[in-house]
Amino acid sequence: MTRRLISSRAAPPARVGSSPLRAAATKPARAPGTAPVRAGTCSPLRAAATDSIAVAAAADPNWRRYASPLPPLGDKPSDLVTVVPGVSWSIRQDFPGPGKSGINLNMCLFRTAGGLVAYAPIGATPEVVAMVRAIDPERGLAHLIVPNMSPEHGAINAVGFADAFPDAVIWAVEGLLEGKGLAGAPGGIGAASKRLAAHPTSRRLDRAALREATGGDVDYALFEERRGLFREATLLVRPAAAVAFADLGFGGFNDEGLVIAPQRWMARLVGVYRRLGSPVGWAVMQSDKEAAARWAADITSWAREQLPAGAPEHVFGSHLTPSFPGAKEELERGFAFVPLKF
């Protein structure tokens, strides 16, 4: 799988003239079939878009800033990763600390019949907004899926995209707009949820409405344990043959969040080292195995009805590695305890 990154991580805006952004804009794109671009390097999504991002960065001292209590405070460097050219992308942002030792926040994006769809919002810094516009310069973001009630995937980040793309539909999992749980807490999280609820294009996530709005390209499978303490929508995207998770599934490799031995030891322990794992999913799904079985049945029936191969080809995660192929095998292994079987 060839991945292309737009990254301005290597230099602050004041020195962007010598950063990899400027260098990438003057070099030809990597030829098809050559070695993948490693994390930390960059090549252009398209030369003009890369150049415009570099120019904007030089003029904006808040290029990597976003008003949020979530770490890292201050700059939140981000990388744009092309997974399948013209079809799917992921924007990887530092979290909770800077550099490769963090577990990242990843927001995946998909081109659909209903426009550009994003899942699990990250901090909407000017850098990230420019990356989204580079993917779809004419329309920008059409839909944003807020998949669970977790603060780092929820309203705090979603309100920034609602402001940047006022015509985008913000689809929020049940409870977020209603102020349930942490969404109703005093302070930043609760205030962000109220702002999101007041936005004219915000609505509760609904399967039939989402399918209609995206021309049948996007669906989701909801896991909600019986007490309502955990709820997450797993995104299902037909054009990308992809499944996307927020906290239910993720995996990591040495250069993404697992750079020192203790991190790799812990990743092996919880089953996410160089593979898709589900430490959060395993814990919450034990409390309601019937709900887990319904969730798995929704995914397998969607794949059987919507995908030529009868199984997904790509998995996207909102932490650690942004995406990886071999979805059928990874999903079946990572969720064997449910089981999830294609």
33 pLDDT higher than 70: no
Structure confidence at residue 27 (pLDDT): 33
User: Is residue 24 over pLDDT 80?
Assistant: no
Q: What is the pLDDT of residues 235-252, one digit of tens each?
A: 999 999 999 999 999 999
Residue 235, domain member (yes or no): yes
Residue 41 lies in a domain: no
| 205 within domain boundaries | yes
- Mean pLDDT on 67-71: 93
Residue 6 lies in a domain: no
User: In whole angstroms, how far apart are CA 323 and each of 32, 108, 221, 249, 330?
Assistant: 19, 9, 19, 11, 12
Q: Is the peptide bond before 72 cis (omega within 30 degrees of 0)?
A: yes
Highest mean pLDDT among 18-32, 45-59, 264-278: 264-278
Would 165 be classed as within a structural domain? yes
pLDDT of residue 59: 72
Residue 282 in domain? yes
CATH assignment of the domain containing 263: 3.60.15.10
Q: Is the pLDDT of residue 8 over 60?
A: no
Q: Which CA distances in Å does 167 have to 74, 115, 140?
A: 28, 12, 9
pLDDT score recorded for residue 98:
87
pLDDT value at residue 11: 39
Residue 227 is assigned to a structural domain of this protein: yes
Q: What is the domain count for the chain?
A: 1
Domain-embedded: residue 206: yes
pLDDT tens for each residue of 156-203: 999 999 999 999 999 999 999 987 776 666 667 778 889 999 999 999
Residue 269: which domain range?
A: 64-334
pLDDT band per the 50, 70, 90 thresholds, residue 12: very low
How far is the CA of 286 from the CAs of 23, 45, 232, 294, 331, in angstroms?
Answer: 50, 42, 15, 13, 17
What pTM was computed for the model?
A: 0.84
Higher pLDDT pick, 336 / 15: 336
Mean pLDDT along residues 78-88: 97
Q: Which residues contact 305 (CB under 8 A, 6 or more apart)?
A: none
pLDDT band at 10 (very low <50, low <70, confident <90, very high): very low
pLDDT average, residue stretch 109-116: 98
| Residues contacting residue 18 through CB under 8 Å, at least 6 positions apart | 11
